[in-house]
Amino acid sequence: MSDLTPHANGAAARTDGDNRYKAIQDKLKTLGTAMELAGNELEQLLRGMRMNAQRSEGLAADIANAELDRKFVEMTNQVSLALGGAAVEVRKLHETAQEVSGLATAAQRRHAQLYEGLDAVRSGRKERTPKPGFFAR
């Protein structure tokens, strides 16, 4: 049986108003890592579902060969079909988690390309820098 409880190591990124360079980098890294972990867990779940679907299919055949009531064969086949269908949806979710993980990593890299230099300049000053948008007024 699978463990469907959330893990503490998959902590979600804070969604506060902190838009400093390093805070955004940390949030993107946390998102990417969480999606990667979710993808790994979904992959394990997918394997288990496929294995259980195959076992269920084999059990239906064994029930049929034992000449039990036909309704038990049908119910076992339905379980096998349901597990197979759920496995297809878990595979889609797994692919989506992998895609989001890759996009978060790409966004983190692009954000670094655009703003890392500015952050280095701002962080290296002794004087305080005005908030973004201050000069746009």
Read off the DSSP letter of residue 4: -
Q: What is the pLDDT of residues 88-112, one digit of tens each?
A: 999 999 999 999 999 999 999 999 9
- Residue whose pair of structure tokens reads 């992998």 in the numeric block: 98
φ, ψ dihedrals at 128, nearest 5°: -75, 145
* Residue 17 confidence class, pLDDT cut points 50, 70, 90: confident
b vs e for 36-74, b when ≥16 Cβ sit within 10 Å of the residue's Cβ? bbbbebbeebbeebbebbeebbebbeebeeeeeeeeebe
Rounded-to-integer distance, Cα 88 and Cα 82, Å? 10
pLDDT digits (tens, 9 = 90+) for 20-70: 899 999 999 999 999 999 999 999 999 999 999 999 999 999 999 999 899
Residues 38 and 57: their CA atoms lie apart, in Å, by 28
Please provide the distance, in angstroms rounded to a whole number, between the alpha carbons at the two ends of the chain: 60
- What pTM did the predictor assign? 0.74
Count other Cβ atoms within 10 Å, centred on residue 28: 21
